[in-house]
Amino acid sequence: MNFEELHALYRQPLFDLISQSRAVHLRHWRGEEVQRCTLLSIKTGGCSEDCAYCAQSSHYSTGVEREALLSLENILTAARRARSQGATRFCMGAAWRGVHDGSEKFERVLEIVREVSQLGMEVCVTLGEIGPVEARKLKAAGVTAYNHNIDTSPEFYPEIVSTHTFQDRLNTIAAVQESGMSVCCGGIIGMGESEADRLRMLEVLSDFGPPPESVPINCLMAMPGTPLADQAPVDIFELVRLIAVTRIALPKARVRLAAGRTRISREGQAFCFFAGANSIFYGDKLLTAKNPTADLDVALLRELGLHVESTQGVTPSWPSKGRDG
């Protein structure tokens, strides 16, 4: 969809927009199915990049310490726990600019992926910049999807990051697409960007060939010590509008209500699901930021009567209190 179309959708009266996005959602997603995806930081802090939102950048004093790559054993323990709590997708994130074939860390990541992919969940990784060789090897090791967010519009990106470019991000995404892995790609709102920047981001995403399989919409978690520490929280209706337009522009994508849910009320989250979000990050921590606890999420999904995906298939969350809770 082009910018004008996205803008026309976005500017409608809110209930007209949501009615449209709900119709698209029902057509493509059989109603009420929410995927729970757990995100684990397998390598935290000390990143060379200067992304203004990120607590893991070594350019800022955020109190996040540089840690080594977690051991395979610790990662497997976390993955099994996520699965037992109901996650069907396990995403592993590393605070790196990127990884290269032939390096020790890449070999270790491949081994981790081989093991985690035996657990029956979708496996997603977000390791920064990669090229075609790394992408092919990750796919062969068992990665389902590679996350690499464009984060905002091409025009606003240089205001947020100076150590790599928007084009660098697109190059990685092209390598992922070529390998046959699914692309998970979205962005952050609340960084000081304009409404037009948000829609430009969607324009770029909806132009991907093939379209991204999953689109995380993050609300900035304003991290102390970063240049964006004092940004105000995102207005709930702006978030709902963006989710609704994303659902219409990318009907088959999982629209993931990602970072920032701790600042959104239960009613606000319900509104986001109604507008087209059908996935959440699940588990108490999101890389270095807080996330609602798993039991709060299960309680919310249950109260809304939303179905959740499990490794056994799609199940309703509400009749089986003992099972998830």
- Residues with catalytic function: 47, 51, 54, 91, 124, 184, 256
Please answer whether residues 203 and 274 qualify as being in contact, where contact means their C-beta atoms are separated by less than 8 angstroms: no
Q: Of residues 22, 97, 108, 290, which one binds ligand SF4 by CB under 6 A?
A: 97
Residues 211-240 that bind ligand SAM (CB under 6 A): 218, 220-221, 223
* Two structure tokens written together for 75: 């990662």
Minimum distance of ligand SAM from residue 82's CB (angstroms): 18
Treating both helix axes as pointing N-terminal to C-terminal, what angle do 3-10 and 14-29 enclose, rounded to 10 degrees?
110
Stretch that binds ligand SAM, among 52-60, 68-76, 200-208, 237-245 (CB under 6 A): 52-60
Give 231 or 278: the residue with its C-beta nearer to ligand SF4. 231
* Two structure tokens written together for 311: 């490794």
Give 221 or 244: the residue with its C-beta nearer to ligand SF4. 221
Minimum distance of ligand SAM from residue 45's CB (angstroms): 10
Partner from ligand SAM, ligand SF4, none binding residue 57, C-beta < 5-8 Å depending on class: ligand SF4
Binding of residue 51 to ligand SF4 (CB under 6 A): yes
For the stretch 290-304, what's the b/e string if a residue is b when 16 or more beta carbons lie within 10 angstroms of its beta carbon?
ebbebeebbbbbbeb
Binding of residue 309 to ligand SF4 (CB under 6 A): no
DSSP symbols for 213-280? SEEEEEEP---TTSTTTTPPPPPHHHHHHHHHHHHHHSTTSEEEE-TTGGGS-HHHHHHHHHHT--EE
Stretch that binds ligand SF4, among 3-11, 54-62, 166-174, 213-221 (CB under 6 A): 54-62
Helix locations, the chain, DSSP H: 3-10, 14-29, 72-84, 104-116, 132-141, 157-160, 166-179, 195-206, 236-249, 266-275, 294-304, 321-324
Partner from ligand SAM, ligand SF4, none binding residue 280, C-beta < 5-8 Å depending on class: none
* Two structure tokens written together for 28: 């493509």
Contact partners, residue 205, CB within 8 Å, separation at least 6: 150, 185, 186, 211, 212, 215, 246, 249, 250
Minimum distance of ligand SF4 from residue 47's CB (angstroms): 3
Would you tell me how many other CB atoms lie within 10 Å of the CB of residue 315? 16
Give 40 or 287: the residue with its C-beta nearer to ligand SAM. 287
Q: Of residues 21, 38, 57, 214, which one binds ligand SF4 by CB under 6 A?
A: 57
Stretch that binds ligand SF4, among 51-59, 100-108, 221-229, 240-248 (CB under 6 A): 51-59
Binding of residue 39 to ligand SF4 (CB under 6 A): no
Minimum distance of ligand SF4 from residue 53's CB (angstroms): 7
On the CB side of 221, CA atoms within 13 Å amount to 19
Query: Which residues would be at the binding site for ligand SAM (CB under 6 A)?
Result: 53-54, 56, 93, 95-96, 126, 128, 148-149, 151, 188, 218, 220-221, 223, 259, 287, 289
